[in-house]
């Protein structure tokens, strides 16, 4: 096990290794090709191990911490959730010329009707002091010849367990755009053969955006609720970059009168 702080011997060995590789780098230009090839192989082996250390260190030391589910929740919330895409790394982390129905992680799906996709979507690491989510999602849209672009976020089973018409469902997000764009959020709740839909516009300006869906104004059949999802709809997204730094959900019951 590595010591918490390097010993004097470790420090001396490290300095000796640095000086040795510095001398090797200075002589590399004049080495015969067979010797240079062997040296390159040894350097590549060393770099592979150094890259592993740096990757692990960056992941553990960069804030916010990977897997974090910390965010501000309204008082009396009985459910709160940050989708996995904003909590931890996904594979692959990005797609160029993204096709419709392309999934990102387990809960997020991209939909569009472009004939030729000039859309790049990539997960990015958040590193700002104000960020609470470890990761964000960046969409670069170039020419857009379709009529709609949306991200569908499937809510977990816990979101609909015990869901009542007296519940308020809150969506909080942090959005950055290159230029102004209209974004709408639509909550969909399936109950039996019917689906309730409530639409809210995200007012851009401040980074932190909050909208609430009040189920009291719906015709929700509380006994037949099956599943729920949210569509984030982007109007006229051509030639724009949109970064969703964070997306979180919560719900709370309306106060009893």
* 150-176 pLDDT per residue, tens: 999 999 999 999 999 999 999 999 999
Q: What is the pLDDT of residue 144?
A: 92
How many other β-carbons are positioned within 10 Å of the β-carbon of residue 194?
11
Question: What are the two backbone dihedrals, phi and then psi, of residue 175, each rounded to the nearest 5 degrees?
Answer: -125, 135
Task: Kindly indicate the confidence band of residue 85, based on its pLDDT and cuts at 50, 70 and 90.
Answer: very high
Question: In the chain, how long is the greatest CA-to-CA distance?
Answer: 87
Mention every residue, 6+ apart, whose C-beta is less than 8 A from residue 249: 79, 80, 81, 82, 155, 159, 169, 170, 171, 172, 230
In this model, does residue 256 exceed pLDDT 50?
Answer: yes
Tens of pLDDT, residues 18-29: 888 888 888 888
Cα separation, 99 vs 219, in Å, equals 35
Average pLDDT, the chain: 88
Two structure tokens written together for 162: 């015990």
Instruction: Give 40 or 57, the one with higher predicted confidence.
Output: 40
Mean predicted confidence (pLDDT) in 88-109: 91
Give the burial string for 32-44 (b: 16+ CB within 10 Å, else e): eeeeeeeeeeeee
Task: Kindly indicate the confidence band of residue 46, based on its pLDDT and cuts at 50, 70 and 90.
Answer: confident
Task: Kindly indicate the confidence band of residue 136, based on its pLDDT and cuts at 50, 70 and 90.
Answer: very high
Cβ 175 vs Cβ 211: under 8 Å: no
In this model, does residue 188 exceed pLDDT 50?
Answer: yes
Return the domain boundaries, the chain: 8-61, 79-253
In this model, does residue 121 exceed pLDDT 90?
Answer: yes
In this model, does residue 1 exceed pLDDT 50?
Answer: no
Task: Kindly indicate the confidence band of residue 257, based on its pLDDT and cuts at 50, 70 and 90.
Answer: low
Cβ 187 vs Cβ 152: under 8 Å: no
CA dist list (Å): 50 to 14, 22, 54, 56: 13, 16, 6, 10
In this model, does residue 224 exceed pLDDT 80?
Answer: yes
The yes/no answer on whether domain 79-253 falls in CATH 2.60.120.260 is: yes
Mean predicted confidence (pLDDT) in 142-148: 92
């Amino acid at each position: 096990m590595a010591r918490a702080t390097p010993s004097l011997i470790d420090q001396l060995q490290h300095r000796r290794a640095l000086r040795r590789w510095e001398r090797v780098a200075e002589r590399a230009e004049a080495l015969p090709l067979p010797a240079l090839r062997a040296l390159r192989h040894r350097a590549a082996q060393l770099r592979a191990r150094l890259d592993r250390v740096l990757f692990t260190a960056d992941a553990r030391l960069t804030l916010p911490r990977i897997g974090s589910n910390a965010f501000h929740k309204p008082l009396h919330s009985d459910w709160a959730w940050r989708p996995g895409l904003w909590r931890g790394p996904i594979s692959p982390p990005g797609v160029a010329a993204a096709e419709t129905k392309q999934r990102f992680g387990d809960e997020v799906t991209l939909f569009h009707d472009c004939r030729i996709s000039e859309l790049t979507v990539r997960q990015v690491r958040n590193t700002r002091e104000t960020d609470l989510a470890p990761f964000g999602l960046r969409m670069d849209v170039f020419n857009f010849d379709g009529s709609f672009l949306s991200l569908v976020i499937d809510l977990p089973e816990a979101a609909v367990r015990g869901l009542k018409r007296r519940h308020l469902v809150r969506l909080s997000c942090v959005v950055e755009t290159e230029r102004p764009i209209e974004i709408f959020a639509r909550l969909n709740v399936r109950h039996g053969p019917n689906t309730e839909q409530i639409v809210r516009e995200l007012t851009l300006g401040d980074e932190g955006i909050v909208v609430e869906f009040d189920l009291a104004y719906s015709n929700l059949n509380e006994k037949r609720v099956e599943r729920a999802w949210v569509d984030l709809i982007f109007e006229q997204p051509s030639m724009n970059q949109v970064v969703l730094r964070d997306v979180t959900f919560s719900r709370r019951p309306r106060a009893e009168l």
